[in-house]
Amino acid sequence: MTIDQPPTIATALVVPRPMSVEPAGASFEITAKSAIVTSTADGETARIAGYLAALLRRSTGFALPVVTDDADPTGNIVVGLGGATTGNEGYELNVSADSVTLTAARGAGLFNGVQTLRQLLPGRIESATVQPAPWTVPGCLIKDRPRFAWRGAMLDVARRFFGVEAVKRYIDDLVPYKINVLHLHLTDDQGWRIAIDKWPRLTEVGGTSQVGGGEGGFYTKADYTEIVTYAADRYVTIIPEIDLPGHTTAALSSYAELNDGGVAATPYTGSNVGFSSLSVSLDATWAFVSDVVAEVAALTPGPYLHVGGDEVEKLTLAEYANFVERVERIVNAAGKQVIGWAEIGKAQISATTVIQYWNTGADDEVVREAVARGARVLMSPASKVYLDMKYDAGTELGQAWAGVIEVRDAWDWDPSTLVQGVTAGQIIGVEAPIWTETLDTMEAVETMAFPRLPAIAEVAWSATQGRDWSDFRTRLGAQATRWAAMGLRYYRSPQVDWLD
Ligand code: TNX
């Protein structure tokens, strides 16, 4: 059918690459008379139709009413649930001269199809102001579904605080590329960013620091819920991370009783790692962990709570493993599944726990052993997907401890062959973290994330069969007009011919 075909206009535009694209002769034009047609006036389909309408109205200036289905499809965009073959997140998009029809078995699939439709339109569709017609969609039949269910990004709001509006903007940046998980790294040595009612000093004290000595900040419970809701409306699941037992200076400086000597730690604004840990023997530690887990779990509709677990140099292996196993029981009792960085594989973690691979090479053994015991893996190899790594030696911001990562490096790897003994069936997906020790503005975050994040989204979404770098770089280059219209800041990688 598809992937072997020469690039068409449609295939040349969409990132991540759909499963199959059949070009069709004539194209469709959205006009001032077009409507969005749904079968019901309320519920999930109508909400997604409303999202599509709002998106298209901004730049087309057309009324684009959402109407129910007795209307004639001619000239319209028809959005509907149905067709059991698309899976949880797949969709079919049929563009003919007459109409556009988007169908999916589930809302998530419709939402993904909307993102594809968006990318089939000229980049100026992303503008917040009215732009000139025509609004042409190339004729095609697209059938699509993801390779992996977890296609994530992580934002480190602990090293630097980013407020609700910035996080919403990042969600909007991710959504066109079918990213469906945003992991928030909420706590670290340098800051505690989520209000906990039973432990108010976590934010009163721990919320006021950040790397480099800025003022920090934190989310109230209402703020966090606002992010969770905004994300959920866009089919993005928020995964909160409370990093335990290390990376805890912000907590240790907020409460003297969490420290073995009974003296509060000094707030930390540097960038070292590994030096802090909660005490495994203090009762206060367990009261603290239980309360924090209970409150964060109660605020979080998603199934997972991330417990960190990385880079703990202060505990013995036995102390560390016991700690992780006890935390796992607490999280499970609060109704959530655990996810943690690769190190948690040193403990006897349960089969429902997800282990996040990060330190390329160094994590191989522990992750291999954990999957042999039944664990599932989220792939975040630092040498491929750490968005805080420099693009090349000349990149001003970022770090290079895991190497430099150009666009092609971020794109050119397969999660199922990276670690010997870890195969596709054990991998739940791919996640691209961005750590913010060196990044203090959203502009810096976007410039490090783009264009590598769409490359990683393609690793997570698209089949390996038919991958082709020159095809990808053409599709990526076509995003430039889109990003210009969105005001999204990105790195003009010399590996890509930017089409603008
Ligand atoms: C390693 S990734 C860390 C983070 C740093 C990051 C900087 C991980 C589990 N730990 O604490 O921010 O490197 O690239």
What pLDDT is attached to residue 9? 55
Of 188, 190, 181, which Cα lies nearest the Cα of 215?
Answer: 190
- Element containing residue 446 per DSSP (H, E): helix 442-449
Question: How many CB atoms are located within 10 Å of the residue 110 CB?
Answer: 28
> 489 C-alpha vs ligand 1 centroid, how far in Å?
24
Please count the residues of the chain. Answer: 500
Q: Whose CA is nearest to atom 6 of ligand 1?
A: 435
Atom of ligand 1 nearest to the CA of 341: 9
Distance, CA of 17 to chain centre: 18
Q: Whose CA is nearest to atom 2 of ligand 1?
A: 358
Question: Could you give the CA distance from residue 389 to residue 448 in angstroms, rounded to a whole number?
Answer: 8
> 401 C-alpha vs ligand 1 centroid, how far in Å?
10
Catalytic site positions:
311
Question: Could you give the CA distance from residue 183 to residue 171 in angstroms, rounded to a whole number?
Answer: 11
Of 159, 219, 108, 89, which Cα lies nearest the Cα of 433?
Answer: 159
State the pairing for strand pair 237-244/191-192. unpaired
Task: Report the chain's C-alpha Rg in angstroms.
Answer: 23
> 437 C-alpha vs ligand 1 centroid, how far in Å?
9
Q: Whose CA is nearest to atom 7 of ligand 1?
A: 435
- Would you say 461 and 178 are in contact if contact means Cβ atoms under 8 Å apart? yes
> 269 C-alpha vs ligand 1 centroid, how far in Å?
15
Q: Which two tokens stand for residue 324?
A: 């992780």
3-class SS letters over 410-434 = HHCCCHHHHCCCCCHHHEEEEEEEE
- Would you say 237 and 189 are in contact if contact means Cβ atoms under 8 Å apart? no
Substitution candidate for ligand 1 out of 241, 307, 310 with most atoms within 8 A of CB: 310
Question: Could you give the CA distance from residue 52 to residue 46 in angstroms, rounded to a whole number?
Answer: 10
Question: Could you give the CA distance from residue 78 to residue 337 in angstroms, rounded to a whole number?
Answer: 38
What are φ and ψ of residue 483, in 5° steps? -65, -35
3-state secondary structure of 16: coil
Atom of ligand 1 nearest to the CA of 156: 12
State the pairing for strand pair 77-81/66-68. unpaired
What pLDDT is attached to residue 3? 39
- Would you say 155 and 122 are in contact if contact means Cβ atoms under 8 Å apart? no
Of 215, 217, 222, 216, which Cα lies nearest the Cα of 197?
Answer: 222
> 462 C-alpha vs ligand 1 centroid, how far in Å?
27
Atom of ligand 1 nearest to the CA of 310: 9
- Element containing residue 68 per DSSP (H, E): strand 66-68
Atom of ligand 1 nearest to the CA of 401: 14
Q: Whose CA is nearest to atom 10 of ligand 1?
A: 310
Substitution candidate for ligand 1 out of 184, 271, 435 with most atoms within 8 A of CB: 435
What pLDDT is attached to residue 10? 52
Q: What percent helix, strand, coil does the chain show, rounded to 5? A: 40, 20, 45
- pTM (two decimals): 0.97
**Residue 290: partners with Cβ closer than 8 Å, 6 or more residues away:** 330
Atom of ligand 1 nearest to the CA of 273: 11
**Residue 35: partners with Cβ closer than 8 Å, 6 or more residues away:** 64, 65, 66, 67, 71, 75, 76, 77
Q: Which two tokens stand for residue 411?
A: 């794109």
Rounded to whole angstroms, the maximal C-alpha distance in the chain is: 75
Q: List pocket residues of ligand 1, CB cut-off 6 Å.
A: 273, 310-311, 341, 358, 386, 388, 399, 435, 437
Substitution candidate for ligand 1 out of 244, 273, 360, 384 with most atoms within 8 A of CB: 273
Question: How many CB atoms are located within 10 Å of the residue 85 CB?
Answer: 11
> 240 C-alpha vs ligand 1 centroid, how far in Å?
16
Q: Whose CA is nearest to atom 5 of ligand 1?
A: 435
> 114 C-alpha vs ligand 1 centroid, how far in Å?
34
Q: Which amino acid, residue 64?
A: L
Q: Which two tokens stand for residue 326?
A: 């006890």
What pLDDT is attached to residue 255? 98
Q: What is the pLDDT along the chain (500 residues), one digit of tens a residue?
A: 333 444 445 555 899 999 999 988 899 999 999 999 998 877 999 999 999 999 999 999 999 999 997 668 899 999 999 876 889 999 999 999 999 999 999 999 999 999 999 999 999 999 999 999 999 999 999 999 999 999 999 999 999 999 999 999 999 999 999 999 999 999 999 999 999 999 999 999 999 999 999 999 999 999 999 999 999 999 999 999 999 999 999 999 999 999 999 999 999 999 999 999 999 999 999 999 999 999 999 999 999 999 999 999 999 999 999 999 999 999 999 999 999 999 999 999 999 999 999 999 999 999 999 999 999 999 999 999 999 999 999 999 999 999 999 999 999 999 999 999 999 999 999 999 999 999 999 999 999 999 999 999 999 999 999 999 999 999 999 999 999 999 999 999 999 999 98
